[in-house]
Structure 1
Amino acid sequence: MAERILVTGGTGTTGSRVARRLEERGIPVAIGTRRPKAAGDVPFDWADPASAAAFDGCTAAYLVAPTDRTDHLALMQPILERAMARGTRRFVLLSSSQFASGGPMMGEVHAWLAGAVPEWAVLRPSWFMENFSHGPHDRTIREDDAIFSATGTGCVGFISADDIAAAAVAALTVETSLNRDAILTGPEALSYGDVAGVISGLLSRPVRHVSLESADLVRRHMAQGLPRDYAEALAHLDEVIRDGGEDRTTPEILQLTGREPISFRQFAESNLPRW
């Protein structure tokens, strides 16, 4: 159904992969980014109402919410309303498995999309495998041989950004809009200790999981420059994992893309040079 698709966060972890897959299929793409550099890039910042112009000529959009604040609906709704007025019909939101419709942050946007736009999908992936290779844990694995979290022994169906991107492209381009949410996971639920064990075995050096109290994790996040409210929100997500809220797998990747999601071991094998 797509004629041209706007990919917000188009240079980020999932956005860049979504844009590349769409281009490989011959679908025109507008890559929304705060710092346009290449042909096809368009200026986009949720905090700038003028960013609504990025939706011009786009029938669908992949939405990546800002990662440094929690008032997502208040920030995003005015631009999304302008996007609909400009002719964009389908919106695919990247949310999180931990944010149900009507919940905090992306959950508020989820509920609004379901009630306000004609065609929508909300992708709710579990935690990214890339958190260990290009995110908050890669440096500590390299420098400290450690992964720090407040998850205890709780398990997560870690998923790769490539699998998320494949699901996003399916939701953006399928003839009949999903008009539902989809919880996306990898093929197995692992604890952070399990992840450390997989990485240790492949590196042939010990990598350990350091289980922190939530207050200690908040202090670590704040020391890395995050505001207190956002640091506390992230620590709460670890508490949900600790309490079993992410201990699940789903068949959504297979159903949306026609193939099984990659395992963490496969992911780790392809990212060994990072560690």
Structure 2
Amino acid sequence: MSEVLVIGATGTTGSRLTSFLRERGVPVRPAARKADRPGFVRFDWTEPETHAPALSGARAVYILPPPAVPEPAPLVEPFLHEAVRQGVRRAVLLGTSARPERTPGAAALYELVRTMLPEWAVLRPSWFMQNFAGRAIALRRRDGELISATGAGRAAFVDAGDIAAVAGHALTDPEPHNTEHVITGPEALSYDDVAALLTELGAGPLRHRPVGQDELAAHFAAAGMPRAYAELLAALDTDISTGSEDRVTDTVERVTGRPPRSFRDFAAAELR
């Protein structure tokens, strides 16, 4: 079986994908900016000299785009040209379920993958359940409250392990998927629902406080997030308030053969 290059292999989805592939005996080449773990190769989007060595011998690649870069295509396109030159046939790109016009550069990346590779998939997951665990939840906690600009809007939060499983199949299934996969959890929840569940399971008391988009962006920026990225995330919250993420898909079960993890099961495991 051909080797799979996993970009961002220490990240939320990349680490889980690396484990998924290894457990199934798939030769995997994990890549990260710091190749300080056994078997890892060095890869940095801003250092093109790291791209060709990382790709050497790979026939499929998982692409985690450059983080918090407004227009990532100028970094990704030369990498894809090098991948094609070296014989890579299949690429799986991590995107987002948010509307491409609301996420700068997303549409261009999707088009690059679709047109440059003969075998491809674009993953468009809803918001990660992992945003409510560990240090990540601190970004939305303030004075014992969970803040958002989502109002009563709902999102079908999805577990990163389910995203990784879909990615693993898209990278290794005999037939290429050649499609965009909108990936969700099994139910759409509001932030009120999430706060209530976390409280019930021992992470509280915690309640949801709706705030305005500008206030949320300022909160994110005060936490150290680049201002432009803070404003983008706050705007995506507002999109949720209008119903943009209020949907449930069958992608996880259809691709992997098992149902997606519920938020209750995720939170119960995280809070053990």
Calculate the TM-score normalised by the size of structure 1. Answer: 0.94
CA contact (8 A) 1:99 1:107 kept: no
Describe the shift of the 1:140–1:98 C-alpha distance in structure 2 as closer, same or farther (beyond 3 A): closer
How far is 1:27 from its partner?
1.2
Q: Does 1:159 align with 2:152?
A: no
Q: Does 1:88 align with 2:88?
A: yes
CA contact (8 A) 2:156 2:189 kept: yes
Q: Which aligned pairs between 1:211-222 and structure 2 lie closer than 5 A?
A: 211-222=210-221
Structure 1 residue aligned with 2:136: 136
How far is 1:205 from its partner?
4.1
Please give the secondary structure, in 2, of the residue aligned with 1:14: helix
Residue ranges of structure 2 left out of the alignment (5+ in a row): none
Q: Does 1:193 align with 2:210?
A: no
Per-residue CA deviations over 1:226-274 (Å, capped at 9, x if unaligned) read: 222111111111111111000000000000000000110011100114x
Please give the secondary structure, in 2, of the residue aligned with 1:203: coil
CA contact (8 A) 2:102 2:236 kept: no
C-alpha distance in 2, partners of 1:199/1:15? 26
C-alpha distance in 1, partners of 2:185/2:135? 18
Structure 1 residue aligned with 2:55: 55
Describe the shift of the 1:147–1:7 C-alpha distance in structure 2 as closer, same or farther (beyond 3 A): same
C-alpha distance in 2, partners of 1:102/1:49? 28
CA contact (8 A) 1:29 1:40 kept: no
CA contact (8 A) 1:14 1:162 kept: yes
**Greater mean alpha carbon deviation, residues 122-131 or residues 104-113:** 104-113
How far is 1:119 from its partner?
0.7
Structure 1 residue aligned with 2:226: 227
C-alpha distance in 2, partners of 1:221/1:108? 26
How far is 1:104 from its partner?
2.8
Structure 1 residue aligned with 2:79: 79
C-alpha distance in 2, partners of 1:219/1:103? 19
C-alpha distance in 1, partners of 2:93/2:2? 19
Per-residue CA deviations over 1:89-134 (Å, capped at 9, x if unaligned) read: 1000010001449963333201121122111000100000000003
Q: How many residues align?
A: 271
Amino acid at match of 1:107: A
Per-residue CA deviations over 1:181-201 (Å, capped at 9, x if unaligned) read: 010000000001100011111
CA contact (8 A) 2:12 2:160 kept: yes
Structure 1 residue aligned with 2:97: 97
CA contact (8 A) 1:197 1:207 kept: yes
Describe the shift of the 1:151–1:102 C-alpha distance in structure 2 as closer, same or farther (beyond 3 A): closer
Q: Which aligned pairs between 1:1-275 and structure 2 lie closer than 5 A?
A: 2-53=1-52, 54-100=54-100, 104-134=104-134, 136-138=136-138, 144-203=143-202, 205-273=204-272
**Greater mean alpha carbon deviation, residues 193-202 or residues 217-226:** 217-226
C-alpha distance in 2, partners of 1:97/1:238? 13
CA contact (8 A) 1:131 1:138 kept: no
Per-residue CA deviations over 1:22-74 (Å, capped at 9, x if unaligned) read: 11111111111000112211111111111222111000011111222221111
Describe the shift of the 1:135–1:241 C-alpha distance in structure 2 as closer, same or farther (beyond 3 A): farther
RMSD (Å), alpha carbons = 1.8
CA contact (8 A) 2:158 2:183 kept: yes
Residue ranges of structure 1 left out of the alignment (5+ in a row): none
CA contact (8 A) 2:139 2:223 kept: no
How far is 1:146 from its partner?
2.1
